[in-house]
Amino acid sequence: MANMYVVVGDRGDTDYEELISGTHKTVIVKGLVTLGSDALLRSTDLRDDIVPSESPFIGFLKVDSPVKEITDIFKQLSKATA
| Full domain range(s) for residue 21 | 5-79
Could you tell me which residue, 48 or 79, shows the higher pLDDT? Answer: 79
* Strand residue runs (E) in 1-82: 5-9, 25-30, 58-62
Domain count, the chain: 1
Instruction: Give the pLDDT confidence of 27-63 residue by residue, as tens digits.
Output: 888 888 766 555 555 555 555 555 566 788 889 999 9
Helices (H), the chain: 67-79
In the chain, what percentage of residues exceed pLDDT 70?
A: 59
Could you tell me which residue, 7 or 82, shows the higher pLDDT? Answer: 7
**pTM tops 0.75, yes or no:** no
Q: pLDDT averaged over the chain?
A: 76
